[in-house]
Structure 1
Amino acid sequence: MADIAAYRVALITSSFAPHIGGVEEHVAQVARELTASGHVVEVWTVDRGVVPEHPFLAADGAEIAVRYLPTPLPARSLSAMVGFAWRWPSAWRAWRRAHRRLRPDVLHVHCFGPNGIYAEALHRQHRTPLIVTSHGETMGDDNGVYARSALLRARLRRAITSACAVTAPSRYVLNDLRSEYGLHTGIVVPNGVDLDVQSAQVPKTGDYFFAVGRLGHPKGFDLLIDAFARLGDEAARLIIGGDGPERGALQRQAEAAGVAERVSFTGRLSADQVDGYMRGARAVVVPSRSEAFGIVALEAWRAGAPLVMTSRGGAAEFVTDGEDGVLVDPTDVDALSEALAQVGNDPKLADRLRANGPARVRDFTWPAVVAQYLRLYDQLPTEPSR
């Protein structure tokens, strides 16, 4: 490869700002850490028709290039095929132009979707080394894209075969790739969290549970509302941060359950607002039906908040039940309600969780994440790309 002290890295993500979520946060933090270490980084992401108002900046204020690239894909209907044939040549030119301008040493795909299909095509044409990082997209998508798209499943299998390395934040995700997509090996690179976030002042709302994330079916906020309604604690409130397609349905669910006056929806929150709400919470709750990792768990630890965490996914690999979190299957709504009551009624347990979380979170920093990625970059083939 090129000078190992200064890699040229294309972080190729399925989504980026102004959209908010786990993969967007992960890629942003990795881009900043790589840039701070002297590497040349660009973010290439799927063009969804919207761009942020402000440029994406490194820690020192320098702008990091973000390229919003078209990703048309073929479909079965005649009109869709005609549309693809019309759009594909210009889209492919845009991707090749991005490659020519950056001349990357590595194409690092995050969350394999249409972005991954185009990245893998660049890899085949230019022999640029490819790394695939899955963020659980094969299991936790709101729209079940992988279940519906034979093309996406086939191209992920091909990319896994082509890639120099495949990573995921948990063994849970790697096991899915092994059983469904032909992965033979794989490396766990966990998520990180910014330990230096500033906590914002948030409204005083009494005694409350707090949950935050994209309001979609996989995140299980409907399960949490049911569990909260069964709690029978009239003094407690539930605050749900974030936005998404199920917000209206969740609000109607709270009304039907008779707890609408005690359930609040804040909409999107900044990182410092999330920290502010967590620091005042009786517990932070992650009720996901499936969770590849769970950055919210790290945020709760950072804030010193007791954590009630889904056992369905990768969290069981790093959360120790009863020590730094309470693990529960949220699809068992009675068990989830009991876990909420347990944290609220057992001061010794709550104090232990508050003490152990901040100690554990120091193991999950973005510099540590990037150090693992750099070790992979160091092992990539030295053959120059065309």
Structure 2
Amino acid sequence: MSQYVSRLQRRSQAAPHRLRLHRRPRRVAMLSVHTSPLHQPGTGDAGGMNVYIVELAQRLAAINIEVEIFTRATTGGLPPTVDMAPGVLVRHIDAGPYEGLNKEDLPAQLCAFTHGVMQAWAGHRPGYYDLVHSHYWLSGHVGWLAAQRWGTPLVHAMHTMAKVKNANLADGDTPEPAARVIGETQIVAAADRLIANTAEEREELVQHYAADPGKVAVVHPGVNLDRFRPADGRAAARARLGLPQDALIPLFAGRIQPLKAPDILLRAVAVLLDQRPDLRSRILVPVVGGLSGSGLAKPEGLQKLASRLGIADVVRFQPPVGQEQLADWFRAASVLVMPSYSESFGLVAIEAQAAGTPVLAAAVGGLPVAVADRRTGFLVRGHDPAAYARVLGDFADDPALTPRMGEAAARHAQSFGWDTAAAATADVYAAAAQSYRRHVRSHHG
């Protein structure tokens, strides 16, 4: 080992640039236990993280880092591997019954999942994977074991954190269990590098989980700027979706669960129509998304709320749609409304802005990074429906507000391309590999 180390040191002094390139991993094992990159975002537990993994993997492959994504098989008869894109392979691992497992049931299946990952690895030569990148705490546990077993660095992305979610719970939402808090704390200690979406998330990792600040890198998620763009404009998108041309259309798009607070939008619309009944004939509120998490306990909850508030006639519930059609919903909207209680980043906010639509959001988590307040949208402190109603009233009164802010929003979103995010992630990989080698060196020195 020490001969290898001194050879490395000699090489690093001789050719720092070549070594830096050499340090980039060639092949990464990416772990996504509870949600498959092949699933439709907006259904079940599939959301922003799915989009994140798909886009990141493809852009990493484009800069010559091969990615293999390990995910749990959720239906029978799936092929063991699927080529998702050039340089990106999805591996389906059998762990537990295919159907009917909630995210909460998955910790019990982590042993089986880890076994499947190890079986896949056993068929390869030693050193086949250069690095493990795990997403969300469930994957982090598998990643921790895999990285130890394979002798590779571990990079982990939390996406959401139990302590942060529990500090910002919606009324009647279920707190995250203690087992998750313990699990997250262990992963933070074990990872060579942690990727945070925003500087605020970095602070939360340090404050709540005692993360070493030197190990936490901030990488803003990206947006697919080819797909989410203003295209042929609002009028054309409304025509395609069969929406009225002159209506005020505040849109909710995302998973229907208390955390995302679609009820706040409905309550805000009820307040607005109470104050201004004349708006009823020209407002339409689409809710695009599927039930998820604790929202599954009350599948009809939002429809019943719309009826109770007396606004069922202006609310339109839409099942989750593919990314192309989602871009059209964003283009068609007057404003995207995101009253979430907690968001690690709020990818949907960037997607809507890239499509040329302003955003009205809660000032939580990463949303103040995603939305430039009063320039590309409005940030509201707290969850008082009346505060959201006031902003919706501004959009109703000033028809030029949507196109004016929408233009600024599209420009703002340009700085969030996935190529930038992939290059920054590759740099984190290189730093993780370097500190991992230093760590190994100090233990075998």
> Does TM, normalized by the shorter one, top 0.5?
yes
1:346 to 392, 398, 404: 398
Instruction: Give secondary structure in 1 for the equivalent of 2:84.
Output: coil
Instruction: Give secondary structure in 2 for the equivalent of 1:326.
Output: strand
Does residue 305 of structure 1 match 2:357? Answer: yes
Q: Which has the higher helix share?
A: 2
2:142 to 104, 118, 129: 118
Q: TM-score, normalised by structure 2?
A: 0.75
The match for 1:193 is: 223
1:173 to 187, 195, 201: 201
- Of residues 367-376 and 336-345 in structure 1, the stretch that sits farther from structure 2 once superposed is 336-345
Give the C-alpha shift of residue 56 in structure 1. 5.2
- Of residues 364-373 and 152-161 in structure 1, the stretch that sits farther from structure 2 once superposed is 152-161
User: Where do 1:99-178 residues align within 5 Å?
Assistant: 99-101=121-123, 103-113=128-138, 115-138=139-162, 139-140=164-165, 147-150=176-179, 152-178=180-206
Is the 8 Å Cα contact of residues 137 and 183 (structure 2) preserved in structure 1? no
Shift in alpha-carbon separation, 1:236–1:373, aligned structure 2, 3 A: same
Residues in 2 aligned to 1:223 and 1:167: alpha-carbon distance in whole angstroms: 31
Instruction: Give secondary structure in 2 for the equivalent of 1:66.
Output: strand
Give the C-alpha shift of residue 216 in structure 1. 0.8
The match for 1:27 is: 53
- Of residues 175-184 and 234-243 in structure 1, the stretch that sits farther from structure 2 once superposed is 175-184
Cα deviation, 1:160-190, whole Å, max 9, x if unaligned, reads 1221111111233223322222213122111
The match for 2:443 is: none
Give the C-alpha shift of residue 322 in structure 1. 0.7
Shift in alpha-carbon separation, 1:215–1:56, aligned structure 2, 3 A: farther
The match for 1:77 is: none
Dislocated runs of 4+, deviation >6 Å: 50-54, 141-146
The match for 2:116 is: 94
Shift in alpha-carbon separation, 1:145–1:173, aligned structure 2, 3 A: farther
- Of residues 10-19 and 317-326 in structure 1, the stretch that sits farther from structure 2 once superposed is 10-19
AA aligned opposite 1:215: I
Cα deviation, 1:121-173, whole Å, max 9, x if unaligned, reads 122233210011121243449997873132x3223222212211111112332
The match for 1:76 is: none
Residues in 2 aligned to 1:45 and 1:88: alpha-carbon distance in whole angstroms: 11
Is the 8 Å Cα contact of residues 200 and 366 (structure 2) preserved in structure 1? yes
The match for 1:372 is: 424
Structure 1 vs Structure 2: percent identity of aligned residues? 23
Cα deviation, 1:57-99, whole Å, max 9, x if unaligned, reads 21x5x76233335389xxxxxxx9xx96xx7775443121233
The match for 2:259 is: 218
The match for 1:45 is: 71
Give the C-alpha shift of residue 119 in structure 1. 1.2
Instruction: Give secondary structure in 2 for the equivalent of 1:10.
Output: strand
1:244 to 280, 291, 298: 291
Give the C-alpha shift of residue 311 in structure 1. 0.8
Structure with larger Rg: 2
Cα deviation, 1:262-320, whole Å, max 9, x if unaligned, reads 10011011111111112121111111111111111111111111221221221113422
Is the 8 Å Cα contact of residues 107 and 131 (structure 1) preserved in structure 2? yes
Residues in 2 aligned to 1:3 and 1:71: alpha-carbon distance in whole angstroms: 39
Residues in 1 aligned to 2:400 and 2:90: alpha-carbon distance in whole angstroms: 49
Residues in 2 aligned to 1:148 and 1:168: alpha-carbon distance in whole angstroms: 22
- Of residues 170-179 and 181-190 in structure 1, the stretch that sits farther from structure 2 once superposed is 170-179
Is the 8 Å Cα contact of residues 173 and 259 (structure 2) preserved in structure 1? no
- Of residues 16-25 and 169-178 in structure 1, the stretch that sits farther from structure 2 once superposed is 169-178
Residues in 2 aligned to 1:272 and 1:254: alpha-carbon distance in whole angstroms: 28
The match for 2:84 is: 57
Shift in alpha-carbon separation, 1:333–1:131, aligned structure 2, 3 A: same
Is the 8 Å Cα contact of residues 284 and 300 (structure 1) preserved in structure 2? yes
Q: TM-score, normalised by structure 1?
A: 0.86
Shift in alpha-carbon separation, 1:229–1:160, aligned structure 2, 3 A: same
Does residue 279 of structure 1 match 2:300? Answer: no
1:334 to 386, 390, 398: 386
Residues in 2 aligned to 1:145 and 1:48: alpha-carbon distance in whole angstroms: 24
Residues in 1 aligned to 2:207 and 2:175: alpha-carbon distance in whole angstroms: 14
Residues in 1 aligned to 2:260 and 2:77: alpha-carbon distance in whole angstroms: 26
